[in-house]
Chain A
Amino acid sequence: MLAVVQFPGSNDDRDMRFAFKAVLGAEARLVFHKASELPPDTRGVVIPGGFSYGDYLRCGAMAQYSPIMAAVKRFADAGGPVLGVCNGFQVLCESGLLPGALVRNHGLHFICEFVHVRVERAAAPFTSRVAAGDVLRIPIKHGEGCYYAEPGLLDELEQGGQIVLRYCEVDGSVSAAANPNGSVANVAGVRSARGNVMGLMPHPEHAVEPAFGGSDGIAILGSFADAVRSAV
């Protein structure tokens, strides 16, 4: 079972559940932030997008202290797979489960548009359905999605293969023009050193049906669902 965490202010939570349940046929449930434990049959955790606690202090800052997050940390420490999308990525960075931080877009505006991202690393549990170099078309929608890692950390991430997705042109080339928010090294998604926690700013759950913006998001959510199924 996939636990989709619902904070006050989460707003892609139902869409995430829809993507897993209705499109991928995986079992997924909303888990309210006040729960201090994940359901016992949890095999994977998703922290969806939105504006948890209004993002009033910093994006994701207050959600890290919700009761459920202690359980999510324990789950991740035990090797359980955790995926954070957009605000979920911010929460995972704030809580220290992922390296780096997300800051205000360089253009200052909230941006909602489809972008291209290149898969840098193809591996379970997040990108097993794709190959390195594949280009996915997935939307972003955020005001504070500029990934920041200080230079030493960035080197570490590059060398450790922790950068999973980069903003790119439609042909896969990584350019400044393809970087929508000023992210360092065009980073759109990273994983933890151990590889079981990943965060990304683009919204794969908003690209799961051909008529609704294409289905490239299935590459990521499908990989995650596969991993969770095989863990049962």
Chain B
Amino acid sequence: MKALVYVTLKPDVLDPQGKAIVRASAQLGYDAVKAVRQGKLFELELDAADEAAARRLLDEFSDKLLANPVIEDYRVVTIEP
């Protein structure tokens, strides 16, 4: 199975990279860009019986390694066979 997991900083943690991108967008004339949060997207290939099993595995793995729960949130974006 293939899965995508998205990890980003929690809303209350400052994201200096996102801020810098907003500043740069204004300088480039893209005033329409109002806010940016930067994150990481992981593409995983899994051995899992079904989607439910894959989700359990991804939750555990994301919590343990892909994200640091002290500062980051994660979201399983897609699971595909």
Say if the two chains contact directly (CB < 8 Å).
yes
Q: Which residues of A contact B (CB under 8 A)?
A: 57-58, 61-62, 65, 93-94, 100-101, 103-108, 146, 148, 150, 182
Distance in Å from the Cβ of A102 to the closest Cβ of chain B?
9
Contacts of B14 in A (CB 8 A): 103, 106, 146, 182
Check A61–B16 contact: CB distance below 8 A: no
Interface residues on B, range: 10 to 19
Cα separation A105 to B14 with both chains bound (whole Å): 10
A182 touches B65 (CB 8 A): no
Residue of B with least CB distance to A104: B16
Given A57-B66, A104-B16, A148-B70, 14 more A-B residue pairs with CB atoms under 8 Å apart are A57-B65, A61-B68, A94-B68, A100-B70, A101-B68, A103-B9, A103-B13, A103-B71, A104-B17, A106-B14, A108-B16, A108-B20, A146-B14, A150-B12
Q: Tell me whether A93 and B66 are in contact in the complex, defined as CB-CB below 8 angstroms, given that A103-B9, A108-B16 are known contacts.
A: no
- B23-58 interface with A by 8 A CB criterion: none
A-B contact pairs, 26 of them (CB 8 A): A57-B65, A57-B66, A58-B68, A61-B65, A61-B68, A62-B65, A93-B70, A101-B68, A101-B70, A101-B71, A103-B9, A103-B13, A103-B14, A104-B16, A105-B16, A106-B14, A106-B16, A107-B16, A108-B17, A108-B20, A146-B14, A148-B70, A148-B71, A150-B12, A182-B14, A182-B16
